[in-house]
Amino acid sequence: MFYLAEHLASHGYIVAAIDHTDSTNAEVDMKSNPFGGFFSTLLNRSRDQQFTLNYLTTKSHFASTTIDKNKAGLIGYSMGGYGAVNTVGGCYNFTEATSSAITGIKDPEQVKKIMALLNSCAGGQYQNVKVDSKWQAVVAMAPWGGQHNLFNKQALAKVTTPILYVSGDLDDVSGYDGITSLYEKTGSN
């Protein structure tokens, strides 16, 4: 999505593009290790987004004198959209069945531990969740996860950050119906 980042930057926005560990095409071998790196993606996408915002708004760096430390937007495509929905309060709701199916782990005790790790919210929070008020808007393009009901319905209903969901009816990964479901549940409280 470098073209979108470049376009936004050309209009004066400070843009940060995250190179997520363990989930680039160079790191994932779908043939011999189809689940390799995926757990890291599931666990860390929202954490990476919040970490980046925290760094840009609290540390001294090349853009720290020009950045608006109180307002940020978040754009995510597919797994980035999955993370973005969580980052603004759409808490994950992994079940034992989805945890096992999506990670490939079959041992029931390990599945329970994985499920406990995955069911976080707003950048990795587990209790007394507070969404960072700097997030002013989200664009979630083909966000993954809705097709598996991986988001807590009550948490989605409480999301107050505006989210623009972008979907296509021929999406064979995130699925139009899954994204429509996220849209219908978000902010409906």
pLDDT digits (tens, 9 = 90+) for 35-67: 677 888 999 999 999 999 999 999 999 989 999
The two structure tokens encoding residue 56: 């840009």
Query: What are the C-alpha distances in Å from 186 to residues 78, 170, 179, 181?
Result: 17, 22, 11, 9
How far apart are alpha carbons 160 and 151 in whole angstroms? Answer: 15
Percent of the chain with pLDDT over 90: 77
Averaged pLDDT for residues 166-170: 93
Averaged pLDDT for residues 154-169: 96
State the amino acid at position 55 in one-letter form. Answer: Y
Q: Residue 31: pLDDT band by 50, 70, 90 thresholds? A: confident
Check: CB of residue 31 under 8 Å from CB of residue 62.
no
Q: What is the mean pLDDT of the chain?
A: 92
Please check the confidence at residue 87 and state whether its pLDDT lies above 80: yes
Q: What is the per-residue DSSP string for 78-139?
A: THHHHHHHHHTT--B---HHHHHHHH----HHHHHHHHHHH--BTTTB-SS----TTEEEEE
Percent of the chain with pLDDT over 70: 95
Please check the confidence at residue 135 and state whether its pLDDT lies above 80: yes
The pLDDT value given to residue 34: 66
